[in-house]
């Protein structure tokens, strides 16, 4: 256990709701096939949030479960960090909306925009703020309703994404469990590879931006793939190095669930056996910032992640961003 370990995960939770959209459903919407989607991505189905609900609803659901799992109440939470690229609105932040929905009246709340790496960024920030004594209990959630920014006429992207939320509550380490290392990095020069061009101050919404479909995700899949493998490997190796941990000491590897081939490429480079790699992309698709905390919560509930286990989280995403966290459970 590192002397610098300050914070530990006290509880986790996740929430998916809405209808299930299968690959067979997508075959009726765009020129694609179940076989193509499975072989190229590993995805079989994804969840689409029901109309009238938003990112804060999913985050609040996941957050309340994580708080209960931690044995705390919403009033105990000092800080809420919501990692999302699909906030309910630009402002108020989704964090503030979640605060109201769960009744965390004593908290400060904010959002983090780091795309699919957002949950790792949030963990890193929470860890640092607990370490320096500014806060005691932090709710970190990754929550996305990507279906609202997905171009359902673009087969290159619409087969990939899904909606959902996952959350963790962090508090001071008990000396046995804790966050052993965090690592975050970005390269803005690669921002154009994955972006939502419209709706911000650069291209505010007009009839023209709607006509040009600028309010939907634009992606250069092949280039992202290349950088994803490179950056997740760097993040994983750096995270392990910072905690003086060897890859073979890991009990579980949880990566961002974007594409099964990207996960397998990292697995091969770390020489991690199948039973130590958690994959649920088939069920949820790519849920961006939510993918790692949903997987972490599911792994705990299924007994794949137990007390005493060392788990490495590794992510990459738009920005370009990447990062890792090594956690002793």
Ligand X SMILES: CC(C)(COP(=O)(O)OP(=O)(O)OC[C@H]1O[C@@H](n2cnc3c(N)ncnc32)[C@H](O)[C@@H]1OP(=O)(O)O)[C@@H](O)C(=O)NCCC(=O)NCCS
Question: Hey, what are 202's tokens?
Answer: 């650069």
Structure tokens at 148: 């609202």
Cα 270–chain centre separation: 21
Residue from the set 133, 222, 303, 308 that interacts with ligand X by CB under 6 A: 222
By annotation, the residues acting in catalysis are 116, 256, 286
Asked if 116 touches ligand X (CB under 6 A), the answer is yes
What is the per-residue binding string for ligand X in 257-276, x denoting contact by CB under 6 A?
-xx-----------------
CB 56 within 8 Å of CB 145: no
Which of 17, 22, 38, 40 is close enough to bind ligand X by CB under 6 A? 40
136 touches ligand X by CB under 6 A: no
CB of 155 to ligand X, least distance (A): 4
User: Quick check: 114 binds ligand X (CB under 6 A)?
Assistant: no
Per 3-state DSSP, what percentage of the chain is helix, strand, and coil (rounded to 5)? Answer: 40, 25, 35
Between 130 and 228, name the residue whose CB sits nearer to ligand X. 228
Contact 256, 317 (CB under 8 A): yes
Q: Which is nearer to ligand X, 64 or 194 (CB)?
A: 194
Pick one of 64, 67, 80, 194: the residue that binds ligand X (CB under 6 A): 194
DSSP 152-221: TT-HHHHTTB-EEEEEEEEEE--SSSEEEEEEEEE-GGGGGGEE--SSSSSS---HHHHHTTTTS-EE-H
Identify which range of 69-77, 81-89, 135-143, 154-162 contacts ligand X by CB under 6 A. 154-162
Among 155, 185, 242, 269, binds ligand X (CB under 6 A): 155
- Shortest separation between residue 40's beta carbon and ligand X, angstroms: 4
Identify any residues that bridge with 14 across adjacent strands, giving them in sequence order.
166
* DSSP H or E run through 226: helix 221-242
The residues that touch ligand X, with contacts defined as CB under 6 A, are: 32, 36, 40-41, 116, 155-156, 159, 194, 219, 221-222, 224-225, 228, 258-259, 286, 317
């Amino acid at each position: 256990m590192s002397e610098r370990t300050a914070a530990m995960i006290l509880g986790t939770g996740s929430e998916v709701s809405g209808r299930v959209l299968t690959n067979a459903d997508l075959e009726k919407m765009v020129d694609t096939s179940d076989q193509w989607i499975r072989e190229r991505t590993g995805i079989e189905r994804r969840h689409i949030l029901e109309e009238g609900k938003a990112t804060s609803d999913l985050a609040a659901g996941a957050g309340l479960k994580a708080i209960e799992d931690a044995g705390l109440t919403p009033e105990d939470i000092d800080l809420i960090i919501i990692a999302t690229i699909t906030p309910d609105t630009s402002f108020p932040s989704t964090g503030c909306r979640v605060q109201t929905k769960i009744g965390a009246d004593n908290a400060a709340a904010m959002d983090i925009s780091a795309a699919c790496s957002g949950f790792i960024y949030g963990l890193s920030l929470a860890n640092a703020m607990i370490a320096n004594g500014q806060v005691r209990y932090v709710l970190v959630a990754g929550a996305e309703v990507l279906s609202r920014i997905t171009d359902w006429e673009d087969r290159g992207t619409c087969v990939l994404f899904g909606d959902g939320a996952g959350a963790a509550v962090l508090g001071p380490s008990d000396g046995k469990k804790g966050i052993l290392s965090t690592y975050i990095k970005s390269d803005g020069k690669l921002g154009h590879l994955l972006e939502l061009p419209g709706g911000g101050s650069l291209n505010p919404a007009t009839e023209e931006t709607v006509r040009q479909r600028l309010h939907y995700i634009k992606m250069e899949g092949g280039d992202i793939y290349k950088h994803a493998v490179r950056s997740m490997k760097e993040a994983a190796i750096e995270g392990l190095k910072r905690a003086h941990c060897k890859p073979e000491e890991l009990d579980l590897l949880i990566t961002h669930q974007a594409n099964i081939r990207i996960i397998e490429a990292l697995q091969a480079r770390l020489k991690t056996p199948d039973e130590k790699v958690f994959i649920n992309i088939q069920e949820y698709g790519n849920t961006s910032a939510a993918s790692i905390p949903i997987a972490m919560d599911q792994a705990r509930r299924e007994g794949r992640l137990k007390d005493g286990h060392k788990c490495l989280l590794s992510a990459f995403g738009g920005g370009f961003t990447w990062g890792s966290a090594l956690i002793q459970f």
